[in-house]
Chain A
Amino acid sequence: MSMEDLYQEIILDHYRKPHNRAPALDDEAVHVHHSNPLCGDEMDLRIRVVDGHLDAVVFDGEGCSISQASASAMTDATIGRELKDALDLAEDFRLMMHGEGPSRADDLGDGIAFTGVAQFPVRVKCALLGWMALRDAIETYESGSSAHTVTHEE
């Protein structure tokens, strides 16, 4: 495998200088904790919701460069979106990780740089961690709860 196929420069930029990485969020609506026990990745994701839109999305945690960079790109791509729209985008990213061409390439923003990860099945769950946490956070919000913990099995 080629390092360049997997680790595009955009990915490394997000890894070195993550966007919206924070351990807390004012007026937080939902906090979810996701872990991937096979890798030992841990992710805390917090969202603030205003008028049915994602007003803020922040993440914190530990993991490989792919998981951290993907979460960072995810926050850029989803902040400001309506909840349903963000869920739709998360599904588009998930399908991209399973080898399907994204139908919303422009909306994914830097998330599109993760296309190559689909060729590395072991790393797909790393790239998905932040997006799956976001989906869970929105669904948790819609169910009327404020916190949820999920452990991802393979």
Chain B
Amino acid sequence: MSIDVRAVRARYPVLDRELDGHRLVYLDSAASSLTPEPVLAAMEHYYRWSRSNVHRGVYPLAEEATDLYEGARTDLARFLDADPRGVVFTKNATEACNLVAYGYVRQHLGPGDVLLSTVMEHHANLVPFTQAAQAVGAEIRHVPLTADGQLDMEAAAELLADGRVRFAAFVHVSNVLGTINDVARLTAMVKDANDRAVVHVDGAQAAPHLPVSVRDLGVDSYAVTGHKLLAPTGIGALVARPELLERMEPFLTGGDMILDVTLEGATWNEVPHKFEAGTPMIAEAAGLSAAITELESLGMAQIRAHERAFTARMLDALGTVPGVQVHGPKDVDLRGSAVSFVLEGIHPHDVGAMLGSRGVCVRVGHHCTKPLMRCLDVAATTRASAYIYNDVDDLGPLVEGIEAAAAFFAR
């Protein structure tokens, strides 16, 4: 069954807004998704009805708050086909990546070890690991790209050949190119080359859009963020094998993450709680559960099918505009719904300003992927990215806005 976009759109109050008389066209979901009514209601219900702290109170409100928070953990584990004991809540995917960099890489890698990354990483999945590798004296290698913006798997095999890669961190879906990486295959390659190697994946752009089974991917940890999958800002997660978490050190300490504390020291709570110091994001967890319910009721396979079809039409539409060059795979089976492009001779800031003046929301800039921008030999791109609430009516304003920018800024 395909998605009824009209019914979906009715659940997003912001889509009723007009901007200077223009219909709001939101094509920036790769930056942050919109929020449906049930997510807003879940957060408000917590604040209005169950407001209290988690894990300690023995009265009904505190039990409800704990149920909301721990319920989000089991919901996210089910959504990603993972073990709930491996779900650590963080404030976003960036913090989840940092948790692995600090808790694992800095504890377990050293001189002679190699950390494998790629040139298409978001800074969130690159900088923490670059810093960690340098701190412990490990070498870093980067998988290059093929001409159509996929990871070069032959080059990856060569980088793995000496068996020294002890840790790999790479992205599932590129936030710029849209490329869907073959995570299962690359993970197997890493582990075949060194059975002690640990694989961490940035799933921030994948979990909102594709059916994801962390178990089937075979990875050791997987970072996600709530605000890209209909949930509020301020909640993300590291979804890991509990055995990996057991081997990691906490990098935030304090309340709630301890088992016992003396004046001289402390012992840690069991996983995943040893990584969640202090009062967590409770309303946001309630919102995350509601968001997962939204996604599951639509069905991730249906969401993927909708976006695949939309992306094909978007690529076709962009192909009709003179001077537009799209980066990343042209085959919609190989890509997600984030489409980056450049308009010849016109800076993305100017393109984005023109689109914004017509109610069309896109992202312009380097998208926190400076090394990738250098590979593509561009300073910046314009990115249009779709989700469940986009329909073909959004494509006309996108194309007309780009054409208007081309005319307005023609020299």
- Report A's interface with B, CB cutoff 8 A: 1-3, 6-7, 12, 15-16, 37-42, 62-66, 123, 126
Contacts and interface: CB of A to CB of B under 8 A. Distances in A.
Interface in B338-391: 347-350, 353-354, 356-357, 365-366, 370, 373, 378-380
B20 A64 contact: no
B354 A39 contact: no
Contact of B379 (A3, A62, A126): A62
Contacts of A66: 349
Contact of A15 (B349, B380, B409): B409
A54 B357 CA distance: 39
A66 to B, nearest CB: 7
B48 interface: no
19 contacts: A1-B353, A1-B357, A6-B353, A7-B408, A12-B409, A16-B410, A38-B365, A39-B347, A39-B349, A39-B365, A40-B365, A40-B366, A40-B373, A41-B379, A42-B379, A63-B347, A65-B409, A66-B349, A126-B349
B411 A40 contact: no
* B contact residues, range: 20 to 34
A123 B357 contact: no
A64 B349 contact: yes
A14 to B, nearest CB: 11
Given A37-B370, A66-B349, 13 more contacts: A1-B353, A1-B356, A2-B20, A3-B357, A12-B409, A15-B409, A40-B380, A62-B379, A64-B348, A65-B347, A65-B349, A65-B409, A126-B349
A12 B353 CA distance: 14
A41 B378 CA distance: 11
Interface of A is mostly: mixed
Nearest to A65: B350
Interface of B: 20, 347-350, 353-354, 356-357, 365-366, 370, 373, 378-380, 408-411
Contacts of B356: 1
Given A38-B365, A40-B380, A62-B379, A3 B347 contact: no
A38 B20 contact: no
Contacts of B349: 39, 64-66, 123, 126
A37 B370 CA distance: 9
Contacts of A40: 365-366, 373, 378-380
Contacts of A15: 409, 411
Can you list the 5 inter-chain pairs with the closest CB atoms, starting with the nearest? A40-B379, A64-B347, A64-B349, A40-B380, A3-B357
